[in-house]
Structure 1
């Protein structure tokens, strides 16, 4: 079973409190128009809050609750028209008796037709406030369309333009022209009359996925909402990420001077429209643990299981005061699930393990948490389907995936070593776990080093780096420890991102040397003595492995990781100068940044290799499709030889 990413009425996050608060606010003054914002990052649960609001208003006969998804209407119609027509059509659908009130219905739809005319007119000037043209503008449009009949080439057929004119004339009424404020007020009054005839004491429109829309669609939808803002008995609940809406406003008004503060303008625009903002808070560590427990227990038990419903109730009690407890402990878990507790025990173990890092790594975002868990479950099932499921333990896979997702450098360092280890282990990781488990500190190591009776021991560069990185140490202390675990099945099941059993497997013990060459500049400078001990076949393998990893990035605008290590390798193994020049000559000239012209002179010493480098610099100085590389090469060539 995979966790669905759809909005839900089953509240696992205690967001029902937000939904009930909004409902209470809406119902407190039904005659007054109000616009409420439900804000939160992508995946925070905004759509689910709207579902809960809609569900909470289902049994209120005098309330009409409509839902509008701007993203689904994007590209089909002018967003203003889509929203306004959607509201009126939804009203007609849920109150079929309105069809008897022909005059009121016709009046409202005639008002909507003004918007359609604005869309059809193409270049017609409309008001920035509502997009509704004045009567004078429409009459002018009719005159221009009629004149076009003399020149059919301007439109596909005379029949089409005649139809357009008839539609325009059908909207016009033999009444005196009105100004824009009167037109706005007339629409609101007509709509208000329609609500009265429908027996609707309050219309609540839920607007979802606005932050997924293109900027123009988002702004047009907001402009349509503004038309209703002062219409009695009408309320809007808008779910959107404020940052995305502010971005849409800035894109819609690109000519704002810097002095006006485009960001401030965008924020003010949203604040004037949204009268009451609600922000969905990110999940903390305790809340994340509870959420993970509920999600995984739902997978094991099924969401319809009666014991699962008891677990949700117990979780809600814990969520009321998350600062007091540590989530769903074993006692609460067993008490809620009874005989089903053993079946869902993995959920409790994994939530304890995943909660702390998932809360930090996902910034408490429910959708990111779900995606992580889905990948975890999918990989486990893939292993089962391929016949090595018994070699995969979910807690171990989860721990490795935490490193893969949130500490990728650490994961790669472990993977490259474990993939070629005869037992699939990473000895330096085991040393780290052992030192952290026993509480051995660097101070103790230093004391051992200074003792005349004890053998000297110094950590490798990688192990020293891990010990000095707090997030790595926190990860290493997570249960289960990976000491003695064959990691190869787990690395194999992560092949969907990278294959650690390809060319790296031929490196053997040299894999650790390759990893060191991708360290910082100060680290690799100290490796020259070690690299001089390599025999030529080993040096060739290390060079090819480093070159392959650099090329695989595909990004040469900035200096790739591994270049400094490559230079130190060539200095230690001069026979590789020709291979280095082959590598440089193969780089795409149109994609290389200026870094590529410097630094090689310290490694290129032989007369033949020096001549090849000079020739390469000359070719770079003549490129026509990379002015930055051209300038850098010219500058390098103009320097005295001693300065290169």
Structure 2
């Protein structure tokens, strides 16, 4: 890793002192009304150098303000899309003839039709920000009259009211009355011909004589009325900022995009849509499930988005140096406050470094001291903390700002909890950070380490010591041009440590995984660390001490059964030596591990072990079926419906399993549905 390096033992006391002093300062700030939590709101303060994207978009908008344009700001969850929208709005605030309106479809979800909410929100925002429009009288009334017409047409499935040739239904009249803001106070009383006539008269009053009478013509008339409204408002360019679209349900997201399409050809109107491309493509596929065979769902979804978004901007993930600078700025900003002039000066220096991140290792102590001047002494502990956890975060958070903030918040709050409970001096922040990376990105590894350490009298994991020793002897792979995540994705490093014949099954598994070896190479080493205080402070996730004390020697059996399929199959003979009560205890622990996970699209760790355990102890077939009945079928891959030959064999158990297959054959999971249907056909054919 680039940047300052520290010996594995020499820096730990410094981190401990820095962490304790840092938290003492935080606690005193909280007493004065301050807080230590790093907020996750959109911001106008650019710590990521994303202002370049915002400036580029602003220049693009100013270049031809009369042109209708749709711009996409794309990035992963938490990449900084909302902040870029804030910067765009802030950058355009001085242009009196440019009007920015923000729309958040997520807030309206479930309360209002998304199309109408966007259309009405734009018009209402325009009139609110241009009060003189209320004096325009007819123009404002005309546009709202047409919005009311669209509301009713939308509710009636697009049927124009002049097409009513008979008496409408009570439901239609009720919808009309509600939309017209109370022509009648109680729709249930509309039971007479006279009242029906009044309702229809009210609807017809929405349109002037001779105006358009069908949906296409009315939409075109709305566009013209909207254009007239812009002219009377004196708006050179209207810019609509749409945020949180990727948080919406698929139907809401698509309806909002369809409403944008209504304005695509309206001059002087620009839309900036901030959304995760993958989530929008998913929404398109869900909204249009029955696509022609000649068009793949992924291609159609991508084409749909590309046709609507004319100019896409993609926010890149942070590299290693960028992450370290970002962490430093976050922690120093938490100490000084965003409005401090010294902090603003430091941000200016950081932006210069971020222009060429390949030429710098980050914000070193001297650079920070020069930028902050007299304030440097206040942030020394934050800088020390950043030096120690910055490299770890750069390796494991995928360069995602939100993940970095969440990680830091969890790290600091857990350490503060340890301080409050009286064992804070036994929890060192770099060690906790490394363990939390495993907890977040390599959950199975973390579970294995935690279970072993909880059982060990010294709180250590023997296999971890062997792993770190083997990993330290490897030559790391050359860094790519753009530093990216190494822990949560497959590493390019080739294993140089060949598994020893005496290695345990768990150690063999670890040595074979590139991501685990990459994690093991991170400093500090954990081989000689008593991990029990760290496991205790992470009890919000799982109590490893409870499992270890209850299971005793069976905890090792459970860990073996969580291994790969070939390894657990070789363990069947040993499982037969367990008495029924022990087998049931092991089953329950494995069941808890399986159901405690959140990913069921692939075979969860422990399922292969359960299969071998039930084959060795057939009395557990009913327990296995209880588990299969409890899994969330709509989120499952094909695994529940196959692989149980010779395991589920008693007549009662077979009947229960076939009933499960019947239910799965209609599941919303296409993989499980297909596999279950095939299994049913095979069983029927074999009779």
The residue correspondences of 1:563-582 to structure 2 (distance < 5 A) are 580-582=617-619
Q: Which residue of 1 aligns with 2:654?
A: 621
Match of 1:501, SS state, is helix
Residue pair 1:188, 1:228 contacting (<8 A) in 2 also: yes
Q: Map 1:444-593; keep pairs closer than 5 Å.
A: 458-505=502-549, 511-512=555-556, 514-524=558-568, 543=583, 546-553=586-593, 561=605, 580-588=617-625, 591=628, 593=640
Query: Structure 2 vs 1, CA of residues 541 and 346 (structure 1 numbering), >3 Å: closer, same or farther?
Result: farther
Deviation at 1:15, TM superposition (A): 0.9
Comparing 186-195 and 4-13, the one that deviates more: 186-195
- Shift of residue 545, structure 1, vs aligned partner: 5.4
141 and 368 in structure 1: CA distance in 2 versus 1, 3 angstrom threshold: farther
Q: CA deviation at 1:311?
A: 2.9
Native 8 Å contact 2:263 2:269 kept in 1: yes
Contact 1:334–1:341, Cα closer than 8 Å, also in 2: no
Report SS of the residue matched to 2:650: helix
Q: Does structure 1 residue 342 correspond to structure 2 residue 369?
A: no
Where does structure 1 lack aligned partners over 5 or more consecutive residues? 126-136, 450-456, 572-576, 601-612, 640-644
Map 1:107-506; keep pairs closer than 5 Å.
Answer: 107-120=142-155, 122-125=156-159, 137-141=160-164, 144-145=167-168, 156-158=188-190, 161=196, 164-175=199-210, 177=212, 183-337=218-372, 338-344=376-382, 345-359=384-398, 364-437=399-472, 458-505=502-549
Question: Structure 1, residues 18-72: CA drift from partner, whole Å, max 9, x if none?
Answer: 1111111111111222111112222221111111111111111111111111111
Kept in 2: contact 1:85–1:112 (CA 8 A): yes
User: Aligned partners of 1:433, 1:148: CA distance in 2, in Å?
Assistant: 71
Aligned partners of 1:201 and 1:111: how far apart in 2?
23
Note the alpha carbon deviations across 1:395-443, whole angstroms, 9 max, x for none: 1111101111112222112111111222211123223334544679998
Further displaced range: 11-20 or 105-114: 105-114
Structure 1 residue 161, shift from structure 2 partner: 4.7
Query: In the aligned structure 1, how far is the partner of 2:472 from the partner of 2:146?
Result: 74
SS at match of 1:399: helix
Q: Against the structure 1 CA distance between its residues 524 and 217, is the aligned structure 2 distance closer, same or farther, given a 3 Å change threshold?
A: closer
Q: Distance in 1 between matches of 2:69 and 2:681?
A: 66
How far the C-alpha of 1:525 sits from its partner, in A, is 6.1
C-alpha separation in 1, matches of 2:682 and 2:44: 65
C-alpha spacing 1:149/1:618, structure 2 compared with 1 (3 Å): closer
TM-score (norm. length: structure 2) = 0.75
> Structure 1 residues 63-72 or 79-88, which shifts more?
79-88
Are 1:74 and 2:109 an aligned pair? Answer: yes
Q: How many residues are treated as equivalent by the alignment? A: 588
Q: Which moved more, 1:159-168 or 1:394-403?
A: 159-168
Greater alpha carbon shift after TM alignment, 67-76 vs 558-567: 558-567
Q: 1:100 to 1:566 in 2, by over 3 A?
A: closer
- Secondary structure, aligned partner of 2:358: coil
- Deviation of the 1:141 alpha carbon: 3.4
Distance 1:443 1:250 in 2: 44
Output the CA distance in 1 between the equivalents of 2:286 and 2:495. Answer: 54
Distance 1:393 1:339 in 2: 22
User: In structure 1, how many angstroms separate the alpha carbons of the residues matched to 2:677 and 2:257?
Assistant: 49
The more displaced of 179-188 and 421-430 is 179-188
Q: Give the conservation status (yes or no) of the 8 Å contact 2:246–2:279.
A: yes
Q: Is the 8 A contact 2:70 2:310 kept in 1?
A: yes
Q: Post-superposition shift, 1:7?
A: 1.2
Going from structure 1 to structure 2, the CA distance change for 1:149 and 1:28 (only over 3 Å counts) comes to closer
Deviation track 1:74-101 (CA, whole Å, cap 9, x = no partner) reads 2332222222221221121111112221
Deviation sequence 1:462-506 (CA, Å, 0-9, x none): 334333433222222212222322111110111111110113125
Cα offset, 1:264, TM superposition:
3.1
Distance 1:524 1:213 in 2: 43
Gaps of 5+ in 2: 1-35, 178-185, 476-493, 630-639, 663-675
Q: Note the alpha carbon deviations across 1:528-569, whole angstroms, 9 max, x for none.
A: 89x59x9x8x97897465323222245699987557667988
Larger mean CA deviation between 558-567 and 224-233 belongs to 558-567
Give me the TM-score of the superposition, normalised by structure 1: 0.80
